[in-house]
Amino acid sequence: MADNLTSRKQDYSQWYNDLVLKGGLAEHSDVRGCMVIKPYGFALWENMRDVLDRMFKETGHQNAYFPLFIPKSYLSKEASHVEGFAKECAVVTHYRLKNDPNGGGVIVDPEAKLEEELIVRPTSETIIWSTYKGWIQSYRDLPILVNQWANVVRWEMRTRLFLRTAEFLWQEGHTAHATKEEAVAETVQMLDVYAKFAEEYMAMPVIKGVKTASERFAGAEDTYCIEALMQDGKALQAGTSHFLGQNFAKAFDVKFADKNNNIEYVWATSWGVSTRLIGALIMAHSDDEGLVMPPRIAPLQVVIVPIYNKDAEARQRIDDKANALVKELRSQGIRVKFDNDDTTRPGWKFAEHELRGVPVRIALGARDLENNVAEVARRDEKTKESVSLDGLIAHVTNLLDEIQSNMYNKALKFRNESITKVDNWDDFVKTLDDKGGFVAAHWDGTAETEDKIKELTKATIRCIPLNNEQEAGTCVLTGNPSAQRVLFARAY
């Protein structure tokens, strides 16, 4: 199996595609830019979604559902929002097909033209705030803490499975508050939820920070983000949480009466993560043998592979033991499969489960049973050991925890080693080219410099880290004074 995979060194981008396709996560569909998420990939997304959904509910949010379509005019109501989102979107102009009078298939019925075109939602601020107008009259109606799990469409010209697709799945939280302080606190709270999810479940360390003005969400006053580092040294924005000020409340005229009966505009936040996280997960952990899944969200945590010989009785003993193990592991809440498929051999199965990144593999043969042991292999370090069947369940439970933290620590070490402080332009360019990763450098705070650096190096300011150390210095490009370093990187 692994023989057919491109290695990271050979061609990182092809390696990534190989893992997505051969690992059975997703594939391209016949519709340009749209992917099919296959059962294994969707099971991963379900696990991620379920954890996030629980975290959202624990922080007081409820789910709701808003229309897929947005009237074209709504996009224009918030001035900077339309600039960001009107460009590349799917536009519904008609509502009926009819038989082609010239024979053959069907054609769009010219009589069925919509009065106002509808946009397939690229994000839902506008349709949701037009709805909130009906929900909010008084401070008693606030806060509104709503999340939506949905599909969205952005007509990207260059697409990559999970990382950038025309249609993708995501969640978008949209909250409404009586005060600025409360809205800012919500924005930061949800950033913390995302960071916790990325680090504790995806085993992926992230840097929490704020975007510069040029990198802000269209319509936001502040965009907070978590930035992760991929193995090729490129950064990836893994989640964003926006403080929207009163921009959408003003655009859709959403006001409320406060306790003193003053009429005020409502304060807003929005925050989202998407199936893009799956791309991040792959590039943060996987290796040249295939995917490496963190146990806490792995679709399958343990696979048991029988090593049959020709003895039917021995075979029966192996099956009995394997089925008993499956039962015990399941009772511990572990996702386990007994792979007793007769049409493939153990070696093929080993490679297949390695490719799919199953954290723990247990191999069970007749000789093992006689010795009361099983062979336990861990995917992350590709080591194996013989373990007594007596303590196997506890061993596996601990091993899953150990793999989870080992994956995180490994990624953290790599990430930390990939942050380089530089103080002059030559080092800046050289570091980006030779080492990659995050470059911590002084910047004069202007959009012009930011643009110029991007133009010269393709590196962008990923974020100004939260609680950033204040340190006087001079801009790496212009030499102008600067009060702090910011993190630059080339990014997905």
| SS3 label, residue 138 | strand
Distances (CA, A) of 346 to 308, 350, 374, 456: 9, 6, 14, 52
Per-position DSSP letters for 209-229, written without gaps between them: EE--GGGS-TT-SEEEEEEEE
Q: Are 467 and 445 in contact (CB under 8 A)?
A: no
Give min distance, CB of 46 to a second copy, in A: 7
Establish if 253 lies at the interface with a second copy (CB under 8 A).
no
Residue with smaller CB distance to a second copy, 53 or 427: 53
Establish if 475 lies at the interface with a second copy (CB under 8 A).
no
Residue with smaller CB distance to a second copy, 10 or 344: 344
- Among 248, 239, 314, CA closest to 280: 239
* x-or-dash string of contact with a second copy, 304-343, rule CB under 8 A: ---------------------------------------x
Give min distance, CB of 282 to a second copy, in A: 17
> Dmax of the chain from CA atoms?
84
Q: Are 190 and 241 in contact (CB under 8 A)?
A: yes
Among residues 60, 67, 347, 479, which is the contact residue for a second copy, using CB under 8 A?
Answer: 67
Among residues 5, 161, 163, 169, which is the contact residue for a second copy, using CB under 8 A?
Answer: 169
Among residues 103, 104, 110, 333, which is the contact residue for a second copy, using CB under 8 A?
Answer: 104
Among residues 20, 44, 136, 150, which is the contact residue for a second copy, using CB under 8 A?
Answer: 150
- Bridge partner list, 364: 306
* Per-residue tokens: 279: 């791309």
* Per-residue tokens: 305: 């592979």
Parallel, antiparallel or unpaired: strands 144-153 and 62-63: parallel
Establish if 55 lies at the interface with a second copy (CB under 8 A).
no
Give min distance, CB of 219 to a second copy, in A: 15
* x-or-dash string of contact with a second copy, 23-42, rule CB under 8 A: ----x-xxx--xxxxxx-xx
Q: What single-letter amino acid sits at 95?
A: Y
Q: Are 163 and 279 in contact (CB under 8 A)?
A: yes
- Tell me the window of 22-30, 234-242, 308-316, 364-372 that interacts with a second copy (CB under 8 A): 22-30
Establish if 204 lies at the interface with a second copy (CB under 8 A).
no
**Which residues are CB-contacts of 284 (< 8 A; sequence separation ≥ 6)?**
202, 203, 204, 228, 229, 230, 231, 411
Establish if 260 lies at the interface with a second copy (CB under 8 A).
no
**Which residues are CB-contacts of 122 (< 8 A; sequence separation ≥ 6)?**
85, 88, 89, 152, 153, 154
Q: How many residues bind a second copy (CB under 8 A)?
A: 66
Establish if 411 lies at the interface with a second copy (CB under 8 A).
no
Among residues 44, 120, 163, 362, which is the contact residue for a second copy, using CB under 8 A?
Answer: 120
Judge if the upstream peptide bond of residue 39 is cis by omega within 30 degrees of 0: no
Among residues 95, 181, 309, 416, which is the contact residue for a second copy, using CB under 8 A?
Answer: 95
Among residues 2, 55, 86, 429, which is the contact residue for a second copy, using CB under 8 A?
Answer: 86
Residue with smaller CB distance to a second copy, 126 or 404: 126
Among residues 5, 19, 52, 70, which is the contact residue for a second copy, using CB under 8 A?
Answer: 70
Element housing 412 (H / E): helix 392-417
Among residues 3, 9, 58, 65, which is the contact residue for a second copy, using CB under 8 A?
Answer: 65
Establish if 59 lies at the interface with a second copy (CB under 8 A).
no
The sign of the torsion formed by the CA atoms of 285, 290, 296, 302 equals negative
Distances (CA, A) of 366 to 268, 310, 322, 360, 388: 63, 10, 12, 20, 14
Establish if 62 lies at the interface with a second copy (CB under 8 A).
yes
- Tell me the window of 63-71, 175-183, 234-242, 323-331 that interacts with a second copy (CB under 8 A): 63-71
**Which residues are CB-contacts of 63 (< 8 A; sequence separation ≥ 6)?**
53, 56, 146, 147, 148, 149
Q: What is the DSSP letter of 11?
A: -
Give min distance, CB of 309 to a second copy, in A: 24
Q: Are 289 and 2 in contact (CB under 8 A)?
A: yes
Establish if 394 lies at the interface with a second copy (CB under 8 A).
no
Residue with smaller CB distance to a second copy, 277 or 387: 277
Distance, in Å, from the CA atom of 153 to the CA atom of 155, rounded to the nearest integer, reads 6
Residue with smaller CB distance to a second copy, 21 or 412: 21
Among residues 127, 203, 318, 362, which is the contact residue for a second copy, using CB under 8 A?
Answer: 127
Q: Are 135 and 229 in contact (CB under 8 A)?
A: no
Establish if 110 lies at the interface with a second copy (CB under 8 A).
no
Which residues of this chain interact with a second copy, rule CB under 8 A?
A: 27, 29-31, 34-39, 41-43, 45-46, 62-76, 82, 86-99, 104-106, 108, 117-120, 127, 130-131, 134, 140, 146, 150-151, 153, 155, 167, 169, 343
